[in-house]
Amino acid sequence: MSATAATSTYTPVERKQGSLKRERRWAMIGAYIALAVFVVFFMMPPFHMLMTSLKSSGEIADLSGNPWLVSAPTLQNYWELMTEGNYLIHFRNSIIVTACTVAITMVISTLAAFALARMKFWGSTTLATGVFLTYLVPETLLFIPMFQIIGGLGLYNNLWAMVLIFPTMTVPFCTWIMIGYFASIPKELDEAALIDGAGHLQMLWKIFIPVALPGILAAMIFAFTVSWAAFIYPIAFLVSSDQMVLTVGIVSDLIRADTFQWGKIMAGALMAALPPLLVYAFLMDYYIAGLTAGATKG
């Protein structure tokens, strides 16, 4: 018996650990394969855009070439966009509209979410649900009545109409995200602030906003993305090139009848994608934390 014990070199526990390691390795391999397929699939369009933007019009028109490769790379499309036409004006307009939309959204949503999450009043729960329901009404249904309102205000073909309209798309969802986030903050924190002598606005400014910063940044990124990428309202309400934002400016100025300036369209679209890309790169961690907290604790 002692001899058997001496020759035995492994135990059930070791066997189990080995099995776990093997299982983990296979899981990792599977995960990497899935991610690789995912990355290739989703990177193909931007890669194709990049390649096209670096081609001359002649190379693009030459159907015998490989669409995925550039034979004579050129920055001509980028240069022309920056020096000719209204691309920079569209870019500036997008920045103005987005910055204003984000600012307006954050002020309204933060105040609304704080009131709905913390200052319990008659009908607050119904109101919170109602705020979210407004988000579910599609833009395609709303732009006709919206057209009448904007026309009545004399803002047709005016950039500032977008500053008025975009918050209607962003405020409901941002409020909803922040209601969830504010609700996850312990009630004792506002009670402590009340006893310390804070009023409701001080409590919001000095306690809730700093503590709920991840949720607020998540809402901010959402508002930024929606505003930057909005298409239906700008194409319905903006007709002059100098009032247009990037999304409609690119397709309006670079497509003339059946002439598509593919190189410039791709270059313009790629440059337009840069700001959201940078925002996401810097704030992604906050974005995920904010959405998760809102989803699970709200």
Contact positions vs other proteins (CB under 8 A): 186, 188-189, 191-199, 202, 206-207, 210-211
Shortest Å distance, C-beta 187 to other proteins:
9
Residue whose C-alpha is closest to residue 228's, from 135, 87, 128, 93 = 93
- Residue closer to other proteins by CB (options 78, 182) is 182
Residue 213: CB partners within 8 Å, gap ≥ 6? 286
Closest CA to 167 of 238, 106, 221, 237: 106
Shorter beta-carbon distance to other proteins: residue 31 or 192: 192
Q: Report residue 9 CA to chain centroid gap.
A: 56
d(CA 201, CA 10): 66
Residue 6 or 195 with smaller CB distance to other proteins: 195
Residue closer to other proteins (CB basis): 44 or 201:
201
Tell me how far CA of residue 219 lies from CA of 53, 56, 90, 102, 229, in angstroms. Answer: 33, 40, 25, 9, 15
Query: With respect to other proteins, which residue has the nearer C-beta, 96 or 211?
Result: 211
* Residues in the chain, total: 298
Q: How far is the CB of 281 from other proteins (least distance, A)?
A: 24
CB of 282 to other proteins, least distance (A): 20
Residue in the structure block whose two tokens are 């670079």: 254
Q: How far is the CB of 176 from other proteins (least distance, A)?
A: 24
Nearest approach, Cβ of residue 186 and other proteins (Å): 6
